[in-house]
Structure 1
């Protein structure tokens, strides 16, 4: 039985079907679209009536020539009709264009915003499984393809329906035989084009997927350009990208060659019908079955309809290419949200800061068990260090507190409140996290610090920076607090990024603080400066520190020693050394202050 399709309560209700997806947004702009459809109908009707006006002019000229009457007097009404039809084309088309200008950008922005909003509700697991660049590219492609699909419906398919209807009505009054031939041909041609073009959707979806993958690889390589430089791997990166580009090219060739084969059929069918229609009309005229004006009108209508139908075949191909792009995007984005707030979830209220794991079991996937019935309590205001080899469960312990993942069994509670029953936002508003390598937005230093508390004043931001020992280096930058930090903060050193992260946490002032060894990669001078900021930050808070160097947690109230998902020792630094157990062995075997990878190292 399929798992229920769960989405966050405040996520936009988007469909995985590309048809329902675009319809959702089109209906939101229905008033403007109805206006565009009205104007396009007027323009199409005026356009297809032009051959009729020309027919009336020709018949009037012929009559004037036969009777010796004034051409302008005889053709006056026909000329007025011709002028009015051309004026109607201009007015209707520009009115449609004006509504399009007012609607298009907003509709596209709405699609991008909705996709981004839905994307943000995905879990940590989702984001570590997808390229950031690929996701960004898909948002752009889905929004653009949704607009192009709408324009194909509005400016290609719909006008052809209007033109065909009006033209066939006129033709039936002039030559029922020609009208019948054209009706049958149009029906067969449009249906065949639709069926054949529909197959292109699968090719277009694969092509879009390959295109997004290439974008993701490019972004990944650009993000890690310093690695390529330091290892002299420029040529390797080019060759690495070439493999994915070749994959994209193969999908492109398959898609475009299919389009070309279809166009051969469409152009050939259109050519045959055009010659047949004109030839048959000539025969009827030569037999006296129609006037010169009628012949001109029939030929003009036939040519206009056939050209429109030939353009429709191209539009069908492009339309299904757009639907393929949309299908690729929505199948990537519109997936169940792994972690959602329960209906009616309350906000977390932290009064003391107690963190308790009650009989918690967790596995990242079946067969990879991390915790099995883990029970431990961190007391309010306690400063606790987490110790263990890589893969022992320290980071998982922290991720579960933050609810980046959810346990398969047991309860994780903060001040007696099960974190699965409170809102995710309220949980994370009460926890400050400083990772080993903080990521910053490509925004100003002021904005990055203020991210901790958006309503903070400039003075409060500066005060937090001073407490984090970041104020002095900020003033030395070219634009001070207005300086941009670069993508992920690349314009700053590791120590500077850490101080910005600490300032942000100071400004947030959450009652629970989690540190993923925020000073392990820094020099001793920078570490001392940052440690002063951390000491201020940790005052009066429940603190959890993931340790890579045991010396940084020796002063903690308590140390939890992890091994293969179990807490094998629990006590203060002095108590654990006195026990002479696992922690004591780790302490004695540290090389250069860092833990080895395993006990055998």
Structure 2
């Protein structure tokens, strides 16, 4: 699929910082105190040693003589603790907002993808990317605010008072930090790439797990538990190999960083003692230089967090593919409002092909007048469902034009278009909600009475009230607690409730017995004399009362007429009718 202009994580994250800038600024200021606290501890230790080792010190009057120093130290530590608590309070308010914004914004863009996008991608993989991106953004923010910036501030402060003590010690800490971070930065890109590859394997693995769980009934029907577990085992092995490769690289990197740090410790301790031996620094300053090794712990902690930081960068970068993927079907900048009053549909020289350049619909020219009842017949793959999908713009046509009441559907928003058309697809999916909610989905403002009336028309009311919880019955994931026929009747009720001028039914009654099917059609036709109806059916007997029947073959409408006219023509429709009549 086509990619948009490369959206880097840096660009995306800077956008988040700008949106929540005051939260970031306040939290960073609050964490500034931690950096100061860690940095000043060796200095305070040296000052106390200076006071206590002064040959002229009056032990009985130490606190009184140096009370300013002690009070200022106490005040500084108090303010630092206030900053800590402030950070915790703000973090509790900020991070839920941040994660919510990430999830909602990514979801808003994702649901704008075309029908084809969701056909080609595991729903489990998509949801996993959204969840991991939100968690990753929080983790990265915490590391920047609470680790990286404070450690760098501490390093600067430490370098300042070490240079004031001895340039030898000051240059030592700078050399160590440059070597330490230089090596890390050199290796960071590879670490991130390996983490991203592992993240891709995790996403794929999770998608396959969801795929198996979603189709568990089929797995049991064909006794394929061992087969699916074996396939999953191969995916697990690929994930393990990707993890091991990433972990081994990080292990080698950490080993090299440890050796550099050991060399720095020896330099600082031995150097400090040697400077003292030659009277270049005092004993308290030796203690200061050795105490300054606390920075090793802080930089090590930063390095310890850098590896998962780059891992999260890889995870987030992979998840951002959801935003990099261009929308295949997009609205124009200023779409026209659409309110279908008649329901006239016109295809003008329409051709459509999928990405593999296979023509599905070729040079289609036809008009469906307002309020006409049209049946679509043809063998599987002849283009019937694609024809209907193009009306609601699940795909963009390759060439030509489709209009409704004279308005090109490309000039109206997709939401507006679909709000005006009731579509019942072959693959009926229900939300794991109550029956009442699933029917009301057709028109959210509908009253309970209107929902019940729609259910009566679709012959769903009787079976619904026979359930223990009636209309409050939860239908299960994708409607798994209901039979195929029950799901179809609920879907028809949902479409009836929508009360659109155009109704499209794609094999909407295929799971029903003939008697129930005819009763639904009878009830349905009573209330839609002023609506345009398009019905796809393999059972041709259900289309005999249609105003018109279109016969599809290889992406073309090869016959067009009433049931009687097509039978008299004795063409493809006649052959289909004859074969079905013989079979019945």
Normalised TM-score (structure 2): 0.95
Query: Does 2:334 match 1:344?
Result: yes
Q: Helix, strand or coil for the counterpart of 2:410?
A: coil
Q: Which moved more, 1:517-526 or 1:54-63?
A: 517-526
Deviates more, 1:130-139 or 1:154-163: 154-163
Name the CA distance, whole Å, in 1 between partners of 2:420 and 2:70.
Answer: 77
Partner of 1:319: 309
- Does residue 1:355 correspond to 2:341, yes or no? no
Q: CA RMSD in A?
A: 2.1
- CA drift of 1:242 comes to 0.8
Do structure 1's residue 189 and structure 2's residue 180 form an aligned pair?
yes
Shift of 1:481: 2.4
CA distance in 2, matches of 1:85, 1:267: 33
Cα distance, 1:171–1:432 mapped onto 2, change above 3 Å: same
Aligned equivalents of 1:3 and 1:206: distance in 2? 21
Among 121, 124, 130, the alignment partner of 2:112 is 121
Task: Tell me the equivalent position of 1:330.
Answer: 320
Tell me the residue number matched to 1:255.
Answer: 246
TM-score w.r.t. length of structure 1: 0.93
Deviations 1:237-295 (A, max 9, x none): 11111111111111111111111111001112112201220111112223333333222
Please say if 1:147 is aligned against 2:138: yes
1:38 partnered with 2:29: yes
**Partners of 2:54 and 2:65 in 1: how far apart?**
8
1:63 alignment partner, SS class: coil
1:214 has 2:186 as partner: no
Report the Cα offset of residue 323 of structure 1: 1.2
Partner in structure 1 of residue 192 of structure 2: 201
Q: Once the 2 structures are TM-superposed, how far is the Cα of residue 67 of structure 1 from its aligned partner? A: 5.6
C-alpha displacement of 1:49: 0.4
462-471 vs 113-122, which moves further = 462-471
1:20 aligns with 2:11: yes
1:223 aligns with 2:223: no
1:437-467 CA distance string (max 9 Å, x none): 4211111222211111112222222222233
Give the deviation of 1:407 after TM superposition. 1.4
Q: Which residue of 1 aligns with 2:577?
A: 587
C-alpha displacement at 1:319, in angstroms?
1.7
Quick one: which of 148, 167, 179 aligns to 1:176? 167
How many Å separate the matches in 2 of 1:212 and 1:374? 41
Using the alignment, how far apart are the partners of 1:523 and 1:298 within structure 2?
88
> Could you say which residue in structure 2 is the equivalent of 1:542?
532
The whole-number CA distance in structure 1 between the counterparts of 2:236 and 2:18 is 38
Whole-Å separation in 1 of the counterparts to 2:81 and 2:60: 33
Q: Which residue of 1 aligns with 2:430?
A: 440
TM-superposed deviation, 1:537: 5.3
SS in 1 for 2:285: helix
Q: Secondary structure at the match of 1:345?
A: coil
The aligned counterpart of 2:266 is 275
Distance 1:4 1:229, change over 3 A: closer
1:226 and 1:3 mapped to 2: Cα distance? 35
Query: Could you tell me whether the CA contact under 8 Å between 1:56 and 1:75 is conserved in 2?
Result: no
Q: Distance in 2 between matches of 1:542 and 1:408?
A: 25
Is the alpha carbon distance of 1:262 and 1:537 closer, same or farther for their aligned partners in structure 2, counting shifts above 3 Å? Answer: farther
* Separation (CA, whole Å) in 1 of partners of 2:27 and 2:583: 70
Deviation, 1:371, is 2.3
User: What is the Cα deviation at residue 342 of structure 1?
Assistant: 1.4
For the pair 1:364 / 2:361, whether they are aligned, the reply is: no
Residues in 1 aligned to 2:56 and 2:217: alpha-carbon distance in whole angstroms: 83
Residues 511 and 296 of structure 1: is their aligned pair in 2 closer, same or farther, counting only changes over 3 Å?
Answer: same
For 1:3 and 1:391, the matched residues in 2 are separated by 26
Residues 176-218 of structure 1 show CA distances to partners (whole Å, capped at 9, x for unaligned) of 2101111122123222212212221111111111111111101
Which residue number in structure 1 is paired with residue 405 of structure 2?
Answer: 415
1:521 is aligned to 511
Structure 2 equivalent of residue 429 of structure 1: 419
| Aligned pair partner of 2:230 in 236, 239, 249 | 239
Partners of 1:53 and 1:81 within 8 A in 2: no
Flag structure 1 segments of 5+ consecutive residues without an equivalent.
7-14, 595-601
User: Residue 493 of structure 1: CA displacement?
Assistant: 1.4
- The answer to which of 412-421 and 476-485 deviates more is 476-485
Match of 2:38 among 44, 47, 54: 47
Q: Distance in 1 between matches of 2:221 and 2:526?
A: 37
Partner-residue secondary structure (3-state), 1:336: coil
- 1:575, CA displacement in angstroms? 1.0
Match of 2:384 in 1: 394
Greater mean alpha carbon deviation, residues 452-461 or residues 33-42: 452-461
> What residue in structure 2 maps to residue 11 of structure 1?
none
Report 1:47-126 matches (<5 A): 47-63=38-54, 69-73=60-64, 76-126=67-117
Q: Which moved more, 1:568-577 or 1:429-438?
A: 429-438
Q: CA deviation at 1:316?
A: 2.1
Q: Is the 8 A contact 2:46 2:285 kept in 1?
A: yes
Verify the 8 A CA contact 1:498 1:530 in the aligned structure 2: no
Q: Tell me how far apart the structure 1 counterparts of residues 73 and 285 of structure 2 sit (CA, whole Å).
A: 16
Could you tell me how far 1:86 is from its partner in structure 2?
A: 3.4
Aligned to 1:377: 367
Alpha-carbon separation, structure 1, partners of 2:44 and 2:72: 6
Give the direction of change, closer, same or farther, for the CA distance of 1:529–1:242 in structure 2 (3 Å limit).
Answer: farther
* Structure 1 residues 60 and 340, CA gap change in structure 2 (3 angstroms): same
Residue deviations 1:384-425, cap 9 Å, x none?
111111111111111111111111111111111111112211
- Aligned residue pair count: 584
Mapped partners of 1:42, 1:247: distance in 2:
45
1:50 and 1:85 in contact (8 A); partners too: no
Aligned partners of 1:352 and 1:380 also within 8 Å: yes
